Structures are given as C-alpha cells and as structure tokens.
Amino acid sequence: MADQRDITALPDLTRGSGRVGPTRTRMPVYVDLLPPCNNACPAGENIQEYLRLVKEGLIQEAWYELVKNNPFPAIHGRVCYHPCESACNRGCLDESISIHGVERYLGDKALEEGWKYLKPEKQSGFRVLVIGSGPAGLSAAYHLARLGHSVEIRDGAPEPGGMMRYGIPAYRLPRDILDQEIDRLRELGVTITQNSFVKDLLKEQAEGQFDAVFVAIGAGLSKRVDIPSMDASKMVDAVSFLKDVASGEHPQIGRRVAVYGGGNTAMDAARVARRLGAEESIVIYRRTAEQMPAHADEREEAQREGVDMHWLRTISEVDQSGVKVEIMELDDNGRPHGTGRFETLEADTVILAVGQETDSNFLRKIPGMRFTNDVVNVDPATLMTDVPGIFAGGDAVPSERTVTIGVGHGKRAARSIDSWLYSRAQAPKVKHDVVSFDSLHLWYFGDHERRMQSELKVAERTGFDEIVRGLEPEEASFEAIRCLSCGNCIECDGCLGACPEDAVIKLGKGFRYRFNYEKCTGCASCFEQCPVHAIDMIPEH
C-alpha cells in the first residue's frame, strides 16, 4: 500500500501544485501519520482505531482493540483526565470528541455483556511478582499474563485497587465497577493476595521462585507539614480521611471543614466533607486558581457543590477557634510571599492535603537500589532499577501521579520484563510524525455538537451515588463518527476522483489504494484534496 521511502528528511514540496512540467519533479505517496489523540494517551491506546470500529458498529471488536493497551476502560472512562481530548484536532473545528465517554461506553458494555480478556495461547513457565494492586500493578499483571507468564500480585490493603479504591471517592468511581474490572483480571489467571505486606523483597522473591519483580507501590503516605497547633485532634491528613471513608467509616468532622492544599486530593476531600454533612467546606491554597495543580474540572465541580476557595492563603496556626491564615501576594516571578497580614477562619476539622509520598523503606535494604527522595531510580525506557530483574513504575518512580500514567507504566514494564526474561533486546519504538490540524484538508465536515454525558443535579448529590452518567449507544456512535481520522486513510475515494490521469488504483475495502506512477504527473491534486493527510508529496528520485 504505502510507499516505504524515508520522507522525514525531504524538503517540503507539499504546498501548492503549480503547473506540471514535461518532467515530473515530485510524486505522491500514501502515509500513516500519528493522530494527536493517540500520541497524548499515557496508556498508549489506539484511540482512532477503536473509534473507527465503533463507527462501523463493531462494538465488541472496538473493546478488544481498546484492551490491547488498557485493560480497564470502564475505570478510565470515569477517572482519566483525558489529555487525548485536549490534543484532539476536532477541537479546532467545534469541540473535541468525547473520547473518555466512548471509552466508558465500551467498558460498561463489556461488563454488561460479560466479555472476557483473550487468554494466551501458551504459558512461558516464568513467574513474576508484582508488589501493589493499584493501576500500575494491575496493568502490569494483565499484560504479563497476556504474554503467558504466571503472575502474583501482593498488596498490603484488605482489597485490591490501591488509591483507585482508597483515594478516589465512589461518586467518581463506583466500587462495583472497580471490582468487576479486577475480577476479569483474576479470570485471566492472575493471583491477587491481599493483606500481604512485603518487608524483605529479595527473600520473598527467592522463596516464591519469582524470575522478575515489578514494584508498583502507590503514594499512600501524606507529606508532613509543620503547623503549630494547640488542638492536634482537629487535624487529619487527606489520605487517611479518604481511606477511612472508602472503608465504610464515618469520621466526625463537625459543621465546618477546612482543607489545606490545591491538588485533586484536596478537591476530593472537600467534596467528601460536604457529603458527610459539613455545612461549610473551604479550601485554603497559597497560590491562585490558575496555579492550582488540581484539574480545572475537579475544582469547578467542587465549587458547584458549595466548596469555597480561599486563594493566596497559607495556614500559620491551628487553635481551638479555627485556623489562622496569612494572606499571600505573588512576586514578579509568580511565587507567593507572606504579607504579614492575617485572618482567622472557623473550622472544626482541618484536612491536610499537601502532597503524598511512597513508602519505599522496604526497598532500601536491597544492595544497589538507588532513590531520589521517596521514589526509585529506574531506566526511563525499560523501568528497570539498578538491580537486574527488579522493575518499578507508577507512583514508585519519578512521574506525574495519575491512574492512566500508572497503567501506561504497567504496560511498558510488562514488555520490558518479557524481553528481559527471554534475554532479548528491546527494539526502539519508532513513532510516526504527529499530524496537526493545519495539515488536514477538511473539505468535508459538519458543525456537529459534542454529545455530553448527563449528570446528577447538584441538589441530588447528597450521598456517594455516581454523578456522571454514561453515553447512550447512539451518542457513543455519534461521537465516533465525529472523529476526523487524522493522518490515516479513510478510503473516501477523494484521491481516486481527484486524479486527472486515472493514476490512482483502488484495491478494495480495507486495502486502500496505490499509485500508477507511469500515469502520475505529480500535480498533487490527490494530496490537496486528501482530508486526513494520508498522502504526502516527495521529490522525484
């Protein structure tokens, strides 16, 4: 199909056809470029392909395509912050595609229909130990099992899921959805052992005869902050607070709650406090809204639910009446500095959400293991530590801490472990060029409004029922149809119809086209009309 020449170093001959002379100086080639949504996905999903399958009504096939890279679409369709949608070229036309909405639809459909993962054709005989049952550990276990390896997950908590269970509130991620996704992993053959605290990793590896280890411990410890307090009982860390609530407890927090911090955990804690009966739930943050690390959607939802934001404030003291905060100002570099002016805010409970750390102490006794603060140093390409056969990922290594990044690490680590077990060098992964909006030739498109998922009204958000509803089948299909298929041929026959020399040959559905270069004059008519930029013009050799 596509010409295999290396066109990356060739001059730009792609704009404007001009007149064709007696000698052809350029020629068209079919190419496959990288869609920006695929490029932006931390889990490495082939988003464009599963949208295409949904568009064709092949729903189960779309789910199988999705879980090649991400085994938990029902989870990710709910909790991922979908950077793919921020990158979506469709956003330059009207609105980006609801990729996470379609992903959730596929995930929920699979649970409803009981679709199962494909099992490996044969077993390798290798055994791999995974420490931690959060997103990175579960993902690694899935991909390792699919590769034919025997996998056991050991986790210290009563139930699997890591911070997906004990950090993300149920109104964002219902526990029955989490359980069903994990149960499917067990059916694949993965053993999950809970209440298993690993204290001596090398000993457990030797006793269990594990050939490799993947460390995927989460950031389950709250960072400490030194705040003078006359009443320490008023203060609780956000991780413990959310974990207690997720475990079924009902902490007594009083009528007024102050949350100190500006991340997503702070937003969750403030919203949970409202659901536990707090009449006032405020967030105290030392910078501005624009500098807040929490995702804008989370902050906006918190405000909709009645959480008040106190920007440019830092807690200096906690006493019996509440919290004493200092008013901050930003300098010319955007850094906050105290002003010496103070105010007092009433609070029965202060929840500290100033960051999280991993509990990596059990790894420090391993000779050769290196650390940067609380995280393990790894090879960025393979995720292997300095100790051969021990890999690490997710919150245990330097990275942004999100569910989707953890799942992506699990997949990458599984492939690295597989190569290491077989003493096989990993081939470097070569990516196609990312196709930009400006390189598309969109002579066709309609202004189609994005289909939105319905939500519970704010007045109805009194408990932990799920807030966001999924897309209906026709809505998911509509969103898939909105995909522009950036950089990859959609067999629209545009090149076939545009060629004045009949130099384009159609090869049949699914096989695309090829060029008859004996007829082609290099006029670029095919290139200029190709809506998705699946054709490039290169110099004649």
Give the Cα separation of 119 and 109 in Å (integer): 20
Q: What is the pLDDT of residue 344?
A: 94
Q: What is the pLDDT of residues 258-290, one digit of tens each?
A: 999 999 999 999 999 999 999 999 999 999 999
Number of domains in the chain: 4
Q: What is the pLDDT of residues 146-187, one digit of tens each?
A: 999 999 999 999 999 999 999 999 999 999 999 999 999 999
Cα-based distances in Å from 525 to 181, 190, 292, 514, 541? 49, 54, 49, 15, 20
Average pLDDT over residues 491-495: 94
Say if 434 falls within a structural domain: no
Range of the domain at 288: 222-354
Say if 7 falls within a structural domain: yes
Say if 430 falls within a structural domain: no
Contact between 182 and 192 under an 8 Å Cβ cutoff? The reply is yes
Model confidence band, residue 395 (pLDDT cutoffs 50, 70, 90): confident
Return the closest-CA partner of residue 221 out of 414, 360, 390, 377.
360
On whether both 310 and 290 belong to a single domain, the answer is yes
On whether both 308 and 402 belong to a single domain, the answer is no
CATH code for the domain in which residue 241 is found: 3.50.50.60
Q: What is the pLDDT of residues 54-105, one digit of tens each?
A: 999 999 999 999 999 999 999 999 999 999 999 999 999 999 999 999 999 9
Q: What percent of the chain lies above the pLDDT cut of 70? A: 95
**Tokens read off for 188:** 């694949």
Average pLDDT over residues 301-306: 96
Give the Cα separation of 346 and 429 in Å (integer): 55
- The single-letter code of the amino acid at 520 is C
Q: What is the pLDDT of residue 445?
A: 66
On whether both 52 and 135 belong to a single domain, the answer is no
- The single-letter code of the amino acid at 235 is M
Say if 251 falls within a structural domain: yes
Average pLDDT over residues 194-219: 95
Quote helix, strand, coil % in the chain, to nearest 5.
35, 20, 50
Q: What is the pLDDT of residue 13?
A: 45
Asked whether the predicted pLDDT for residue 447 surpasses 80, the reply is no
On whether both 413 and 470 belong to a single domain, the answer is no
Give the Cα separation of 439 and 89 in Å (integer): 10
**Which residues touch 323 (CB under 8 Å, ≥6 apart)?**
258, 284, 315, 317, 344, 345, 347, 350
On whether both 404 and 301 belong to a single domain, the answer is no
Which of 354, 379, 407 is where one domain is finished?
354
On whether both 231 and 314 belong to a single domain, the answer is yes
Asked whether the predicted pLDDT for residue 511 surpasses 60, the reply is yes
Average pLDDT over residues 299-308: 96
* Partners of residue 115 on adjacent β-strands: none
- The single-letter code of the amino acid at 41 is C
Q: What is the pLDDT of residue 380?
A: 92
Say if 13 falls within a structural domain: yes
On whether both 269 and 172 belong to a single domain, the answer is no
Asked whether the predicted pLDDT for residue 16 surpasses 50, the reply is no
On whether both 344 and 368 belong to a single domain, the answer is no
On whether both 159 and 230 belong to a single domain, the answer is no
Put residue 161 in one of left, alpha, beta given phi > 0 → left and psi -120 to 50 → alpha.
left
Give the Cα separation of 177 and 72 in Å (integer): 10
Q: What is the pLDDT of residues 40-54, one digit of tens each?
A: 999 999 999 999 999
On whether both 228 and 333 belong to a single domain, the answer is yes
On whether both 265 and 342 belong to a single domain, the answer is yes
Q: Could you say which DSSP state residue 199 is in?
A: S
